[in-house]
Amino acid sequence: MTTQVMESKIAELKEWESVLEEAKAVVEALKDELKAEMTSREVEELECGTHIVRFTSILSNRFDTTTFKKEHAEMHKQYTKQTQSRRFTVS
């Protein structure tokens, strides 16, 4: 692949990333509007035509790694393993 082709593909990638970010912003705005309406109606589930919208509270338990690391540093080190991954960026 020539440098010119690479530059063209990078420019196309940047354009699509921009479109994607705009679409994500629209999606989030629409979700926020629906959530606000459901909150004002004080409902967690709403049937609208053929769609059911849910905005529910969920409880979960999570392990507090920060506190564990502070209080049990050696044990944290003992059970921590190094992993390798690859990152792709275009700037």
In a domain, 38, yes or no: yes
Assigned domain for 88 exists:
no
Asked if residue 87 is part of any domain, the answer here is: no
Give a yes or no: residue 83 inside a domain: no
| Average pLDDT of every residue of the chain | 96
Give pairs for 26-31: CB < 8 Å, separation 24+.
none
Whether 86 maps to a domain, the answer reads: no
Q: Tell me whether residue 35 is in a domain.
A: yes
pTM: 0.73
Quote the pLDDT of residue 91: 87
Main-chain phi, psi angles of 12, to 5 degrees: -65, -40
Flag whether 84 is in a domain: no
Mean pLDDT (whole number) for 24-45: 97
CA proximity to 30, closest of 4, 53, 50: 53
- With respect to residue 91, please indicate whether it lies within any of the assigned structural domains: no
Domain ranges, residue 61 = 3-78
55-87 pLDDT tens trace: 999 999 999 999 999 999 999 999 999 999 999
**Counted domains in the chain:** 1
